[in-house]
Amino acid sequence: MRIAVFSTQPYDAEYLAKANAGHELFFFEARLTSGTMQLAAGADAVCAFVNDDLGQDVIAALATSGVALIALRSAGFNHVDLVAAEAAGISVARVPAYSPHAVAEHAIALMLTLNRKTHRAYNRVREGNFALDGLLGFDLCGKIVGIVGTGQIGEVVARILSGFGCNLLAHDPIENPACVAVGARYAGLEELLATSDVITLQCPLTPKTHHLIDAAAVAKMKRGVMLINTSRGAVVDARALIAGLKSGAVGSVALDVYEEEGDLFFQDLSSSFISDDVFARLLTFPNVLITGHQAFFTEEALTAIAETTIANVSAFERDGQPLHPVRSKGG
């Protein structure tokens, strides 16, 4: 099949080319938007990532140009209008599991860095400043860590944190026995917010989880809480976080995702400026640590993403069905 690959970074091209099984791959650096979708002309499939626009208008235009499959290189599919895809007769495929370890380990890396301030220590030591003032952390052992979303990634987070000796609270509409087996106790969101020293978000973005962490949630949290978000940016209302950080209600924050990340992440803006004032404000806090949606970024995950993406396309070509279809609730 002819596949138009959008939002291509050099590593995407490298890993997809390695996994390819006879398809024609056309790589475009551009994000898929209504302004760039003509690049897909002549393609049978588009291969898209998390910040590509797969809303109703783009999908309708892709269908008109003959695209029959959207192969996502992600697990999350909150950015796809599935109803529009079904109406247009376009199949959607995703990579449901590529490495929960990659994301879980990054969440833990953020937690440890934010707590022990190794990012600040690194810079200090290189400048010959060996003072410890401002680097004080706390023992994770014995702390209550609330995990919101205990699917594949949340489960690995629970396993790792149980090894640290944390007390685990979990919140998820579906209980995961593997989390209970490592000592997690399921609780309502209110209890988790009120009692956790650290809260880590591992749930998908859905209408229910949109701005799950808003001003009302911040008001319920234990004062000085640490919040980690490696799920999707819009699960958190960044303005509410800023207010919480300013009042001291929120002690520290690590984000790998940001609601408006589409105009920022996956590109080098170091010679430009940041026009998003909310993001710029977040960057001014010493107790905020941000990475640019890199939790998935391991060799193992890139290999699995490329292999599953190609397998989805090959299965669609062979059977008219991708290996891992995504359908709307109504479909």
How far apart are the C-alpha atoms of 314 and 321, rounded to whole Å?
9
Footprint on residues 7-36 left by ligand NAI (CB under 6 A)? none
Among candidate residues 31, 94, 106, 293, the one labeled active-site is 293
E strands, 211-308, in order: 225-229, 250-255, 288-290
Residue number, 128 or 173, with CB nearest to ligand NAI:
173
**Identified binder of ligand NAI from the candidate list 32, 47, 49, 100, rule CB under 6 A:** 100
**Identified binder of ligand NAI from the candidate list 19, 148, 227, 254, rule CB under 6 A:** 148
Among candidate residues 286, 282, 244, 287, the one with its CA nearest the CA of residue 260: 282
**Identified binder of ligand NAI from the candidate list 115, 209, 252, 309, rule CB under 6 A:** 209
Among candidate residues 106, 261, 307, 324, the one labeled active-site is 261
Question: Shortest gap between Cβ of 324 and ligand NAI (angstroms)?
Answer: 12
Among candidate residues 23, 106, 232, 324, the one labeled active-site is 232
**What kind and span of H or E run contains 147?**
strand 144-148
**Identified binder of ligand NAI from the candidate list 49, 186, 296, 316, rule CB under 6 A:** 296
**Identified binder of ligand NAI from the candidate list 10, 123, 130, 208, rule CB under 6 A:** 208
Question: Shortest gap between Cβ of 225 and ligand NAI (angstroms)?
Answer: 17
Burial profile 191-221: b = 16 or more Cβ within 10 angstroms, e = fewer: ebbeebbbbbbbbbbeeebebbbeeebbeeb
* Single-letter amino acid code for the residue at 187: A
Residue number, 67 or 258, with CB nearest to ligand NAI:
258
Among candidate residues 327, 287, 329, 330, the one with its CA nearest the CA of residue 91: 327
- Tell me if residue 327 is catalytic: no
**How many residues form the binding site for ligand NAI (CB under 6 A)?**
30
10 Å Cβ neighbour count for 42?
Answer: 12
Residue 320 token pair: 């008219």
* Interaction between residue 308 and ligand NAI (CB under 6 A): no
Residue 246 token pair: 């300013």
Binding letters toward ligand NAI, positions 212-231, x by CB under 6 A: ------------------xx
Compute the half-sphere exposure of residue 4: CA atoms within 13 Å on the CB side of its CA: 24
Residue 168 token pair: 């685990």
The set of catalytic residues is 232, 261, 293
Interface residues toward ligand NAI, by CB under 6 A: 75-76, 100, 103, 148-154, 171-174, 202-206, 208-209, 230-232, 256-257, 293, 295-296
